[in-house]
Amino acid sequence: MQLAAQQPADSMHYADEKHFKNIQQLTFGGDNAEAYWSYDGSHVIFQKSSAKEGILCDRMFIGKIPAAGEKFNYKQVSSGKGRTTCGYFLPGGKHIVYASTHLGGDSCPPVPDRSKLGNRYVWPVYDSYDIFMADTSGNITKQLTHTAGYDAEATLSPDGSKMIFTSVRDGDLDLYIMELSTGNTKRITTELGYDGGAWFSPDGKKIVWRASRPATEEEIKDYKDLLSKGLVAPTKMEVFVADADGTNAKQITHLGQANWAPNFTPDSKHIIFCSNHEYKRGFPFNMYLTDINGNGLEKVSRDKGFDAFPMFSPDGRKIIFSSNRNNGGTRDTNLFIADWAD
């Protein structure tokens, strides 16, 4: 009897990852995440931190997608002041939007002291975050948000005219849509809980996002207490979809634990997202596919650590994501790109 070949513990491409072909590692070292395509599919913008390189908290970088076998070259486009997150290209590829804390100080904002929180896993929602527009040389051309408190997690509509983002301006972490030409802004979620990481569908008709929905008196108190400290616990989140204006909202996952980083497939009919629902210990995270109603769940990735932040290229032929794979047993999270096979 022939024994099956043993899959290596650390690999660039795992068995059963049938949707990935010609996978290529783009970065090597540090924490590289949230890589999002330009509208023409030629470049990506992403955030990176690396203590070894003197990047003590996330900064924004852009790079051109390399041909197979070529090196991925990238450059920093944020100033190096404060902490940045959630970059996104505008149509035309000459401008970007991202959130930054630099108005609150040049240094990296302090990370949460989890020892005072029972070593809980929490995300900081810094009140110094605002959203800015910049050119690809790094020059900030416009400040898009001006309200007190957290404003971040921005992405744009397919035509580039609208920006969807998360803000605490009305006392809770909710989604808002801004018309970039006028600055007119409308709140589109109202339920208590964290609403964030929203995306428009490629056809512009829908949005998808991650949300927590504290229900019990204890959960509500905990959520509000953490928020008052500028924190959110992302360990219980589900995926929601709605029409592009926020109406007809519907929860499409009911998996428990953390379901997040959702995004649309190119046909606008399916959602790819990250989840730890298979693992009681809350780890690892893998990527999953479902249809827009939450049916037909399929596991896409197989790393034993972390696979997340998937985004399809505009033509649907490639996918980019962040992963702990092939990191030699370190904690490094790198960017990977692959051809997508249906």
126 vs 148: CA distance, rounded Å = 11
| Chain CA centroid to CA 280, Å | 23
Which residue from 316, 318, 310 is spatially nearest to 267, judged by alpha carbons?
Answer: 316
> Which parts of the chain have pLDDT scores under 70?
1-9
Q: Cα(249)–Cα(223) distance, rounded to whole angstroms?
A: 22
| pLDDT (0 to 100) of residue 47 | 98
Q: What fold, for 23-340?
A: Neuraminidase (2.120.10)
How much is the pLDDT for 8?
Answer: 54
Q: Which two tokens stand for residue 274?
A: 């990250």
HSE, side-chain direction, 13 A CA sphere, residue 283: 5
Question: What is the chain's alpha carbon radius of gyration, rounded to the nearest angstrom?
Answer: 19
The pLDDT, as a whole number, for residue 116 is 87
C-alpha pair distances (Å), 11 with each of 23, 62, 322:
11, 26, 14
Query: Is the peptide bond preceding residue 284 cis, with omega within 30 degrees of 0?
Result: yes
Residues 6+ apart with CB under 8 A from 202: 158, 264, 266, 267, 268, 314
Per-residue model confidence (pLDDT) at position 68: 87
CA-CA distance, 255 to 210, in Å (whole number)?
Answer: 13
Which of helix, strand or coil describes residue 226?
helix
Q: What residue spans define the domains of the chain?
A: 23-340
